[in-house]
Structure 1
């Protein structure tokens, strides 16, 4: 189920490939550009080191987007009860790092937060948003 959701999010027209500039393909073996891994908090901490994830955050490290299973199960306050939306955000945010994207910030109150904003920690005056905004894709 996890791999199918990742594949669905990455192939969505709303996602990183939505502008036609890139495409994603799930493979079982062979060389890859990056991997998306759902890991326990302890394993997340280990895979993300030297980044400090404190058992509660996810990361991108090397060729791996590491999604913390505690967050996957519990979500984040910024997304309220929208766990499905938060999971899409987790995938898009960490894959964004795998694509070379850095963190962004809320620049317009009431607007959708950039996917590359650390929405797990809050959205400032923006609204939670799981999908990359058009300007983030470039």
Structure 2
């Protein structure tokens, strides 16, 4: 059930959510996707009109021919606690009110503001989800320590929009990059987190979904502040947060934080 908040409708074209106020864009960087070589895709229509993909085409392949870890898992159809993630949604998002007296907050140097928005119909409590994202971005193991960037949740006109979207809406918002209903992306001022991954993680994180969520937020926000993908430094070492851990660990140990010290 969706509680409170305001909604922003997905517009036509690339399907970006309508903006009701001017935003200051984050530092320029190309849109990044959790796959190594995204290819341009035809501009998709609204989520409701998108054709369903064949089973063998549902996951984009990386350079070794692997699909994202867990992409064919039965968890995608029925969650570990009976949670269901619909393939598509309305394309409208509920904006979660920030905690505390956000209006009295004094922005510091290097700070980015953001909204937390959940697509209607998804089974995630808005307040709990926003608190989770806030704690991840405020942690000493995060980008504040590594890159000197801090983050502050606002009710509107954020410089970044943290969107949790159904797989089909993720495809629309990430275009022209391909997500094929399986992975997440950062596209302009949008940080689009695939609800399937938020709910179920991947095979490498199937026993630690909260840890995967931490990785997912830090990875995509890392792209938003200018960081590119990284490789596993060696067997048994901790995976860099900018490694594409959704596709597998390549011999590294899982790690959701930018600061691996």
Between the aligned partners of 1:101 and 1:19, the Cα distance in structure 2 is 11
Native 8 Å contact 1:10 1:16 kept in 2: yes
Q: Does 1:106 align with 2:236?
A: no
Cα 1:133–1:19 change in 2 (3 A) is closer
Pairwise mapping of residues 23-34 of structure 1 onto structure 2 (< 5 A)?
23-30=150-157, 32-34=158-160
**CA drift at 1:71:** 0.7
Pairwise mapping of residues 1-138 of structure 1 onto structure 2 (< 5 A)?
1-19=128-146, 21-30=148-157, 32-133=158-259
Considering only CA atoms, is the larger Rg found in Structure 1 or Structure 2? 2
Which structure is higher in RCO with an 8 Å CA cutoff and minimum separation 6?
A: 2
Between the aligned partners of 2:155 and 2:141, the Cα distance in structure 1 is 25
* Structure 1, gaps ≥5 residues long: none
Q: For the aligned residues, what is the CA RMSD?
A: 1.5
**Partner SS state of residue 36, structure 1:** strand
**CA drift at 1:133:** 3.1
The normalised TM-score by structure 2 is 0.49
- Find runs of 4+ consecutive structure 1 residues off by over 3 angstroms: none
**CA drift at 1:134:** 5.3
Between the aligned partners of 1:128 and 1:134, the Cα distance in structure 2 is 11
Aligned length: 134
The normalised TM-score by structure 1 is 0.91
Between the aligned partners of 1:20 and 1:50, the Cα distance in structure 2 is 29
1:50-89 per-residue CA deviation (whole Å, 9 max, x = no partner) reads: 1100101000001011000011111111223110100100
Between the aligned partners of 1:94 and 1:19, the Cα distance in structure 2 is 15
1:73-127 per-residue CA deviation (whole Å, 9 max, x = no partner) reads: 1111122311010010010011111111110000121111000011000010100
1:13-67 per-residue CA deviation (whole Å, 9 max, x = no partner) reads: 111112471211111123x321111000011000000110010100000101100
Decide which structure has greater helix share: 1
